Amino acid sequence: MKVLVTGATGQVGRALLASVPEQVSARGCTRAELDLRDPAAIAPFIAQERLDIIINAAAYTAVDKAEDEPAEARAINATAVAVLAEALSASGGRLVHLSTDFVFDGLSSRAYQPDDPRNPLSVYGQTKAGGEDALGRNALLVRTGWVYAAGGSNFVRTMLRLMREGDTVRVVADQIGAPTFARGLAKVVWALVGAGAQGTFHHSDAGVASWYDFAVAIQEEALVLGLLANPVTIVPVASADFPTRAVRPAFSLLDSSSTRAVLGEQATHWRVNLRHMLREEQALG
Protein backbone atom coordinates (compact mmCIF):
# COMPACT_ATOMS: atom_id res chain seq x y z
CA MET A 1 0.00 0.00 0.00
CA LYS A 2 1.44 3.34 -1.09
CA VAL A 3 0.41 6.23 1.16
CA LEU A 4 1.14 9.96 1.10
CA VAL A 5 0.71 12.05 4.25
CA THR A 6 0.10 15.75 3.69
CA GLY A 7 0.91 18.23 6.46
CA ALA A 8 4.01 16.15 7.20
CA THR A 9 5.58 18.73 9.52
CA GLY A 10 2.49 19.22 11.68
CA GLN A 11 1.74 17.46 14.95
CA VAL A 12 -0.50 14.78 13.42
CA GLY A 13 1.58 14.42 10.27
CA ARG A 14 4.73 13.76 12.28
CA ALA A 15 2.89 11.26 14.48
CA LEU A 16 1.53 9.43 11.44
CA LEU A 17 4.95 9.16 9.83
CA ALA A 18 6.49 7.94 13.08
CA SER A 19 4.01 5.04 13.32
CA VAL A 20 3.69 3.68 9.78
CA PRO A 21 2.59 0.00 9.80
CA GLU A 22 5.04 -2.53 8.40
CA GLN A 23 2.91 -3.39 5.36
CA VAL A 24 2.61 0.26 4.32
CA SER A 25 4.99 2.38 2.24
CA ALA A 26 4.40 5.96 3.36
CA ARG A 27 6.10 9.28 2.94
CA GLY A 28 5.33 12.81 3.99
CA CYS A 29 4.51 15.76 1.79
CA THR A 30 5.09 19.39 2.78
CA ARG A 31 3.75 22.62 1.31
CA ALA A 32 7.03 23.09 -0.56
CA GLU A 33 6.32 19.92 -2.53
CA LEU A 34 2.56 20.34 -2.94
CA ASP A 35 0.92 23.65 -2.14
CA LEU A 36 -2.75 22.92 -1.47
CA ARG A 37 -3.54 26.57 -2.15
CA ASP A 38 -2.85 25.81 -5.84
CA PRO A 39 -5.67 23.49 -7.03
CA ALA A 40 -4.15 23.17 -10.52
CA ALA A 41 -1.06 21.49 -9.10
CA ILE A 42 -2.89 18.74 -7.19
CA ALA A 43 -4.21 16.43 -9.94
CA PRO A 44 -0.91 16.21 -11.89
CA PHE A 45 0.94 15.49 -8.66
CA ILE A 46 -1.42 12.65 -7.72
CA ALA A 47 -1.34 11.18 -11.22
CA GLN A 48 2.44 11.10 -11.09
CA GLU A 49 2.62 9.53 -7.63
CA ARG A 50 0.15 6.67 -8.32
CA LEU A 51 -1.06 6.57 -4.73
CA ASP A 52 -3.34 4.10 -3.01
CA ILE A 53 -4.20 6.50 -0.19
CA ILE A 54 -3.64 10.11 0.80
CA ILE A 55 -4.01 10.91 4.50
CA ASN A 56 -4.78 14.61 4.50
CA ALA A 57 -3.38 15.96 7.76
CA ALA A 58 -2.79 19.40 6.24
CA ALA A 59 -5.12 22.21 7.25
CA TYR A 60 -5.42 25.93 7.85
CA THR A 61 -5.69 25.79 11.65
CA ALA A 62 -5.24 29.43 12.74
CA VAL A 63 -8.77 29.59 14.11
CA ASP A 64 -8.86 33.31 14.93
CA LYS A 65 -6.82 34.41 11.92
CA ALA A 66 -9.24 32.57 9.65
CA GLU A 67 -11.89 35.15 10.50
CA ASP A 68 -9.79 37.69 8.59
CA GLU A 69 -8.47 35.26 5.95
CA PRO A 70 -11.54 33.24 4.94
CA ALA A 71 -10.40 32.79 1.34
CA GLU A 72 -7.10 31.17 2.29
CA ALA A 73 -8.76 29.00 4.95
CA ARG A 74 -11.36 27.87 2.41
CA ALA A 75 -8.72 27.17 -0.23
CA ILE A 76 -6.84 24.75 2.03
CA ASN A 77 -9.65 23.30 4.14
CA ALA A 78 -12.34 22.90 1.48
CA THR A 79 -11.31 23.55 -2.13
CA ALA A 80 -8.11 21.50 -1.94
CA VAL A 81 -9.99 18.62 -0.32
CA ALA A 82 -12.48 18.55 -3.19
CA VAL A 83 -9.65 18.45 -5.74
CA LEU A 84 -7.81 15.74 -3.78
CA ALA A 85 -10.95 13.60 -3.60
CA GLU A 86 -11.72 14.00 -7.31
CA ALA A 87 -8.15 13.29 -8.41
CA LEU A 88 -7.89 10.21 -6.20
CA SER A 89 -11.22 8.92 -7.44
CA ALA A 90 -10.00 9.25 -11.03
CA SER A 91 -6.81 7.34 -10.23
CA GLY A 92 -8.46 4.64 -8.13
CA GLY A 93 -7.05 5.92 -4.84
CA ARG A 94 -8.75 6.79 -1.60
CA LEU A 95 -8.76 9.86 0.65
CA VAL A 96 -8.43 9.75 4.43
CA HIS A 97 -9.27 13.19 5.79
CA LEU A 98 -8.90 14.67 9.27
CA SER A 99 -11.49 17.13 10.51
CA THR A 100 -12.47 18.86 13.72
CA ASP A 101 -14.95 19.22 16.56
CA PHE A 102 -15.36 22.83 15.38
CA VAL A 103 -17.94 21.67 12.82
CA PHE A 104 -20.40 21.46 15.75
CA ASP A 105 -22.02 24.39 17.58
CA GLY A 106 -21.47 23.13 21.12
CA LEU A 107 -25.17 23.14 22.07
CA SER A 108 -25.52 19.38 22.49
CA SER A 109 -26.33 17.85 25.88
CA ARG A 110 -24.35 14.69 25.02
CA ALA A 111 -21.19 13.75 23.15
CA TYR A 112 -21.48 14.38 19.42
CA GLN A 113 -21.99 11.29 17.27
CA PRO A 114 -20.50 11.10 13.75
CA ASP A 115 -23.87 11.60 12.02
CA ASP A 116 -25.09 14.48 14.19
CA PRO A 117 -26.06 17.70 12.37
CA ARG A 118 -23.23 20.21 12.03
CA ASN A 119 -23.50 23.92 12.66
CA PRO A 120 -20.03 25.53 12.75
CA LEU A 121 -19.71 28.87 14.53
CA SER A 122 -16.46 30.08 12.95
CA VAL A 123 -14.87 30.49 9.54
CA TYR A 124 -12.45 27.72 10.45
CA GLY A 125 -15.31 25.36 11.34
CA GLN A 126 -17.25 26.33 8.22
CA THR A 127 -14.32 25.65 5.92
CA LYS A 128 -13.61 22.31 7.59
CA ALA A 129 -17.27 21.37 7.12
CA GLY A 130 -16.89 22.34 3.48
CA GLY A 131 -13.98 19.93 3.18
CA GLU A 132 -16.09 17.16 4.70
CA ASP A 133 -18.82 17.80 2.13
CA ALA A 134 -16.32 17.35 -0.71
CA LEU A 135 -15.25 13.81 0.23
CA GLY A 136 -16.05 10.92 -2.08
CA ARG A 137 -18.14 7.88 -1.19
CA ASN A 138 -15.20 5.64 -0.31
CA ALA A 139 -13.40 8.24 1.81
CA LEU A 140 -12.57 7.90 5.49
CA LEU A 141 -13.27 10.96 7.64
CA VAL A 142 -11.82 11.14 11.16
CA ARG A 143 -12.89 14.03 13.40
CA THR A 144 -10.86 14.95 16.45
CA GLY A 145 -10.10 17.91 18.70
CA TRP A 146 -7.79 19.45 21.31
CA VAL A 147 -4.75 17.81 19.68
CA TYR A 148 -1.30 18.11 21.26
CA ALA A 149 2.15 16.55 20.90
CA ALA A 150 5.64 16.95 22.29
CA GLY A 151 7.60 19.58 20.42
CA GLY A 152 4.51 21.02 18.76
CA SER A 153 2.58 24.26 19.04
CA ASN A 154 -0.29 23.46 21.37
CA PHE A 155 -2.10 24.17 24.65
CA VAL A 156 0.16 21.97 26.78
CA ARG A 157 3.37 23.67 25.72
CA THR A 158 1.74 27.11 25.97
CA MET A 159 0.68 26.35 29.55
CA LEU A 160 4.18 25.16 30.47
CA ARG A 161 5.63 28.41 29.13
CA LEU A 162 3.12 30.61 30.95
CA MET A 163 3.60 28.70 34.21
CA ARG A 164 7.34 29.26 34.01
CA GLU A 165 6.99 32.96 33.23
CA GLY A 166 4.50 34.09 35.87
CA ASP A 167 2.80 33.19 39.12
CA THR A 168 -0.81 33.23 37.85
CA VAL A 169 -2.46 31.73 34.77
CA ARG A 170 -6.06 32.40 33.73
CA VAL A 171 -7.73 29.55 31.84
CA VAL A 172 -11.20 29.18 30.34
CA ALA A 173 -13.36 26.81 32.40
CA ASP A 174 -16.63 26.76 30.45
CA GLN A 175 -15.47 25.02 27.26
CA ILE A 176 -15.75 21.25 27.57
CA GLY A 177 -14.18 18.51 25.45
CA ALA A 178 -11.40 15.93 25.61
CA PRO A 179 -7.68 16.32 24.86
CA THR A 180 -6.19 14.14 22.10
CA PHE A 181 -2.58 12.96 22.06
CA ALA A 182 -1.36 13.07 18.45
CA ARG A 183 0.46 9.76 18.76
CA GLY A 184 -2.74 8.02 19.86
CA LEU A 185 -4.70 9.66 17.05
CA ALA A 186 -2.14 8.44 14.51
CA LYS A 187 -2.48 4.89 15.82
CA VAL A 188 -6.25 5.06 15.41
CA VAL A 189 -6.03 6.47 11.87
CA TRP A 190 -3.67 3.71 10.75
CA ALA A 191 -5.89 1.09 12.41
CA LEU A 192 -8.99 2.39 10.63
CA VAL A 193 -7.09 2.41 7.33
CA GLY A 194 -5.96 -1.16 7.94
CA ALA A 195 -9.55 -2.19 8.71
CA GLY A 196 -10.72 -0.69 5.40
CA ALA A 197 -13.08 1.64 7.25
CA GLN A 198 -15.17 4.12 5.27
CA GLY A 199 -17.45 6.90 6.40
CA THR A 200 -17.18 9.16 9.44
CA PHE A 201 -15.49 8.29 12.72
CA HIS A 202 -14.56 10.22 15.86
CA HIS A 203 -11.51 9.94 18.05
CA SER A 204 -10.33 11.71 21.18
CA ASP A 205 -8.78 10.36 24.35
CA ALA A 206 -11.17 8.94 26.94
CA GLY A 207 -12.55 11.23 29.62
CA VAL A 208 -13.89 14.75 29.79
CA ALA A 209 -12.22 18.04 30.69
CA SER A 210 -12.48 21.79 30.52
CA TRP A 211 -9.42 23.75 29.44
CA TYR A 212 -9.09 24.67 33.14
CA ASP A 213 -9.11 20.99 34.15
CA PHE A 214 -6.50 20.29 31.50
CA ALA A 215 -4.28 23.13 32.75
CA VAL A 216 -4.49 21.90 36.35
CA ALA A 217 -3.47 18.40 35.23
CA ILE A 218 -0.61 19.77 33.15
CA GLN A 219 0.79 21.58 36.18
CA GLU A 220 0.42 18.58 38.49
CA GLU A 221 2.10 16.17 36.08
CA ALA A 222 4.82 18.65 35.09
CA LEU A 223 5.75 19.29 38.73
CA VAL A 224 6.19 15.56 39.31
CA LEU A 225 8.53 15.32 36.30
CA GLY A 226 10.48 18.44 37.19
CA LEU A 227 9.35 20.30 34.09
CA LEU A 228 8.15 23.06 36.42
CA ALA A 229 10.07 24.23 39.45
CA ASN A 230 7.17 25.76 41.39
CA PRO A 231 3.37 25.70 41.27
CA VAL A 232 1.42 28.72 40.11
CA THR A 233 -2.14 29.84 40.75
CA ILE A 234 -4.52 28.71 37.99
CA VAL A 235 -7.65 30.86 37.86
CA PRO A 236 -10.80 29.57 36.10
CA VAL A 237 -12.43 32.20 33.89
CA ALA A 238 -15.43 32.36 31.58
CA SER A 239 -15.09 32.49 27.81
CA ALA A 240 -16.68 35.94 27.95
CA ASP A 241 -13.74 37.12 30.07
CA PHE A 242 -11.28 35.79 27.52
CA PRO A 243 -12.69 37.02 24.18
CA THR A 244 -11.32 35.60 20.93
CA ARG A 245 -11.84 36.59 17.31
CA ALA A 246 -13.56 33.28 16.50
CA VAL A 247 -16.37 31.73 18.53
CA ARG A 248 -15.52 28.35 20.03
CA PRO A 249 -18.10 25.62 20.72
CA ALA A 250 -18.76 25.51 24.47
CA PHE A 251 -19.18 21.73 24.38
CA SER A 252 -17.32 19.65 21.81
CA LEU A 253 -17.02 16.20 23.32
CA LEU A 254 -16.93 13.57 20.55
CA ASP A 255 -18.61 10.17 20.81
CA SER A 256 -15.99 7.63 19.71
CA SER A 257 -18.02 4.47 20.38
CA SER A 258 -18.27 3.50 16.70
CA THR A 259 -14.50 3.82 16.38
CA ARG A 260 -13.99 1.67 19.45
CA ALA A 261 -16.39 -0.94 18.04
CA VAL A 262 -14.48 -1.21 14.75
CA LEU A 263 -11.08 -1.38 16.42
CA GLY A 264 -12.16 -3.59 19.33
CA GLU A 265 -10.30 -1.59 21.96
CA GLN A 266 -10.95 1.21 24.41
CA ALA A 267 -9.37 4.66 24.19
CA THR A 268 -6.67 5.64 26.66
CA HIS A 269 -7.68 8.27 29.22
CA TRP A 270 -6.40 11.74 28.39
CA ARG A 271 -4.52 12.07 31.68
CA VAL A 272 -2.49 8.93 30.94
CA ASN A 273 -1.58 10.23 27.50
CA LEU A 274 -0.69 13.61 28.99
CA ARG A 275 1.94 11.84 31.12
CA HIS A 276 3.32 10.14 28.01
CA MET A 277 3.56 13.47 26.18
CA LEU A 278 5.25 15.23 29.09
CA ARG A 279 7.84 12.47 29.35
CA GLU A 280 8.54 12.95 25.64
CA GLU A 281 8.80 16.69 26.25
CA GLN A 282 11.23 16.03 29.08
CA ALA A 283 13.36 13.88 26.75
CA LEU A 284 13.47 16.72 24.22
CA GLY A 285 15.04 18.92 26.89
3-state secondary structure of 99: strand
Instruction: Let me know if residue 114 belongs to a domain.
Output: yes
Instruction: Let me know if residue 77 belongs to a domain.
Output: yes
Q: How many domains does the chain have?
A: 1
Instruction: Let me know if residue 94 belongs to a domain.
Output: yes
Q: Are 248 and 239 in contact (CB under 8 A)?
A: yes
The pLDDT tens digits of the residues spanning 246-270 come to 999 999 999 999 999 999 999 999 9
Instruction: Let me know if residue 194 belongs to a domain.
Output: yes
The pLDDT tens digits of the residues spanning 88-113 come to 888 888 999 999 999 999 999 999 99
- pLDDT at position 258, please? 96
Instruction: Please give the Cα distance from 251 to 135 (Å, whole number).
Output: 26
- The full length of the chain comes to 285
Query: Domain with 52 in it: what CATH number?
Result: 3.40.50.720
Instruction: Please give the Cα distance from 250 to 47 (Å, whole number).
Output: 42
Instruction: Let me know if residue 43 belongs to a domain.
Output: yes
- Mapping DSSP onto H, E and C, the string for 23-90 reads CCEEEEECCCCCCCCCHHHHHHHHHHHCCCEEEECCCCCCCCHHHCCHHHHHHHHHHHHHHHHHHHHH
Q: Which residues contact 230 (CB under 8 A, 6 or more apart)?
A: none
Q: Which residues contact 150 (CB under 8 A, 6 or more apart)?
A: 277, 278, 280, 281, 283, 284
Instruction: Please give the Cα distance from 163 to 167 (Å, whole number).
Output: 7
Domain that includes residue 78, residue range: 2-153+179-206+252-268
What pTM was estimated for this model as a whole?
0.94
Instruction: Let me know if residue 232 belongs to a domain.
Output: no
Instruction: Please give the Cα distance from 147 to 143 (Å, whole number).
Output: 11
Active site residues: 124
Instruction: Let me know if residue 285 belongs to a domain.
Output: no
The pLDDT tens digits of the residues spanning 109-165 come to 999 999 999 999 999 999 999 999 999 888 999 999 999 999 988 999 999 999 999
- pLDDT at position 225, please? 95
Instruction: Let me know if residue 228 belongs to a domain.
Output: no
